[in-house]
Every structure is written in C-alpha cells, then in structure tokens.
Amino acid sequence: MQEHDLLATSWTWAGPEPIAQRVRAVGAAGFAGLSLSLDDLHEVRATIGFAELRRALDAAGMVWVQLGPLARWWTCSSRTAEQDADRGVVLEAAATLGAWQVVVRADVSLPGVSPAAMVDDWNDLADHAAKVGAQLVLEPEPWSNLPTVERASRFVAAAGHPNGGLLVDAMHALRGGSTLASIRQGVAPSTLAAVELSDGLLHTPSGMTLAEESASARHLPGAGAWDLPGLVRTLRDLGYDEPWGVEVRTPAHRAMPTEDALRTAAAATRAVLDAADAFGAPAAPAMPTTPAPTSAVDFEPPTHRPGTGADGVRRRDADTGTPA
C-alpha cells in the first residue's frame, strides 16, 4: 500500500497538555500536518509566540499547517470586534507559521445572509490570505447558508478567485444529503482543496441535532456506517491528492491519553485509505486449506542399518552406552 500524508484536525489532537507537547505527539503518531483552532492561536500568541511554535512544528515534521475556522468574515451588522481581531490573529499566524490554508465557515445565523452578498468579502479575504502565502478554503455545514458541498463548490467557482477553495468534510457532506454520485457530479475539481475524514452512524442519534452530532459523535474512520473508501476514491477521481484530514471526536476518544488517541486515529484512517488503494486490485490467491502431499523427492523411507531400530534411529545400550 502507498504512503499517505495525514493531518490531525484541532479536535483530534485536543488535550490538556501544553501545546508544544501535543505537537510532538502529533508528529510521533505519524501525522504530517495539523490544524490550529482560534483558541490554539490565541493561546500561542499570549504564551510561547508563533515563531517558537513554528520551531516546534518543524521539529515534529509538520508539513501541512491549517488555521481556523473563521466565522463572520463577511460584512454584516452582527460581526463583532472580537471576530475582527480573530481575522487579524489568523493572518498574523499564517504569515509566521507558513500556513498552508485558512479555513472559514459559512453563515450559520438565522435568517442568514445571501451567499451572493458574501462574494466581495470572500475575494477580499482570499487576497489577504494570498499575501501571507495561505489558501482560503470554505467549509460548508448542513445548518449554514451553504448547506451542501455542491452549493459551496458553485459559490467558490462563481466567485472566481484563484486562491479560493472548498473543504469537503465527510460528516458535513453526507449529513447534508450528498451522495458519492452527487459529489462526483456537483463538485468542480478546480475548487476541491481539502478533505476531512470521520465516520458516523447510519442516522443522527435520537435527540441530537446535526451540529451536536458533529461536535461529539465523529467516530474513527472505518468504525461507522459510511463508505469512506468510496468517498476517498470519489475525491481522488476529482483530482484530490494529499493530505487527508482526520477529525475524530467522541467521549471515548477524548478520554484516551492524547498520544494513544492520535495513534489510534492515524491507524484507523490509514486502514480506510489502504482499503481505497486496494479497490480494483487483483485478488490475492487463496491459501491452501489442506497440506500439500509430500513428494518422493522430499521423502525417503529409512533403511535398517546395524545399530538402528526399525525407524532408522540409532540406539544405545541402556547399561553400557554402546550401540545396541
């Protein structure tokens, strides 16, 4: 099987340890990248600083660094000073950390703005991200004004900014009503920029909203009911390559020591990717179920020689030790 770059999302590597220690654990578990949440970025800015974090990322072998998600990046009366500050911190961090991508959310407020009213702000933020070397990617959510990956892809394509892209989150996509066929037909390959894998139950648990399921019922890849190998193959057919984001969040996962949780998530995701790699490959030959017959070349009956028994084994006298 081929090797794959994995990226641990901020939920997957969350824990009580200092951030530099958790970064080392991400690298030790075999990940090649990670995403940093706004809480992470504010903590780093107030403590060790972004330059020191960049050194820690380098030491851990982190190639892919993703930041966000940012909310309310578009012009609206409900945007707060804190959200404006978040934007500044993310762009500052992207410049120092050499971030690969900055992730933004769609509008989750009600009644919500029209996506058409967000285009100018999208292009403006994509310009700012480009200046610090990061790509701007949109993560649609089923409860937002861009509830499906197909509609979000159309938004990104229509906006037309060369630095804009789409993040396909398995849970958001499948709970948003998308199928492998609709993703294949409705996501423009030119927009596909990032992927996050998690697994889920056949249906959202009773009494739980989609947002609550997203926050606390993201199962290990391969441990749920979804055809994740099929999703991987579909996204590959659209031209996506690496890295594969891993987003796991369940009470059981969060109760594990951070190092164990990361190793478990990496191993589970690699198994899904291996299954996608193996699709269509020739089947391995069946193993024999009965012993093969022994040929005459391999077997020669013993001959009786003086001092041997009928089985050909040489014997010694029990009293004298001399040949019998």
| Pairing assessment for the beta strands 101-105 and 64-70 based on DSSP bridges | parallel
| C-beta separation of 60 from 30 below 8 A | no
What pLDDT does residue 78 have? Answer: 81
What pLDDT does residue 317 have? Answer: 42
Alpha helices in the chain, H assignment, sequence order: 19-28, 38-46, 50-59, 81-97, 119-131, 149-159, 170-175, 180-186, 210-216, 228-237, 251-255, 258-278
Please, what are the averages of pLDDT over each run of 10 residues along the chain (324 residues)? 89 94 98 97 96 98 97 88 91 98 95 94 98 98 97 98 98 96 97 98 94 96 96 97 96 95 97 91 55 41 46 42 44
Q: What is the pTM of this model?
A: 0.85
What pLDDT does residue 320 have? Answer: 42
Tell me: the pLDDT tens digits for 123-160?
999 999 999 999 999 999 999 999 999 999 999 999 99
| C-beta separation of 108 from 144 below 8 A | yes
Tell me: the pLDDT tens digits for 269-323?
999 999 999 987 665 555 455 444 444 333 344 444 444 444 444 444 444 444 4
DSSP 90-111: HHHHHHHHT-SEEEEE---SSS
What pLDDT does residue 282 have? Answer: 61
